[in-house]
Amino acid sequence: MIDIEVQDFVTRFAAAWAARSGEAFLALWHPEGWLHSPLYDRPVAGRELGRLTDVVKEHAPDSVWQLLDWTARGDIVIIEWQNTRTAGGKRFDWRGVDKFRLRDGRILEERVYADTASLRAAAKGERLEAIIRL
């Protein structure tokens, strides 16, 4: 992919998040695409992204996704992001990275890398404890 195509993809991805639009997300996905994320209980087929967007809005109506940075090499695009939401009455800010493999400018595979420990602890009503105290 050339730089302008990658920039267009990143812009459309960020716009889909800003609009929280299932249609905008679906337009980004290759028909054979798969999403792998620690937030979901199974891999998600690209064709399910419209419904997944609705589910995310139901579970995290105040979620705000922000693009922080990105880079690309060939058909691989890496996006660094930050998400903010409220869970268990507390505000959470966390960062993650999505690694995309594109085909014909659309997502063939997306792997989300994010630490979900604080959200998991809040969901259980627990306090997040450090693994190593300094």
Q: Read off the pTM.
A: 0.88
* pLDDT tens digits, one per residue of 39-88: 899 999 998 988 888 888 888 889 999 999 999 999 999 999 999 988 77
Each domain of the chain, given as residue ranges in start order, spans: 3-123
**Whole-angstrom Cα distance, residue 13 to residue 9?**
6
**Whole-angstrom Cα distance, residue 103 to residue 11?**
17
Q: Domain 3-123 class?
A: alpha beta
More confident residue, 18 or 126: 18
* pLDDT tens digits, one per residue of 13-43: 999 999 998 899 999 999 899 999 998 999 9
H-run or E-run covering 83: strand 76-87
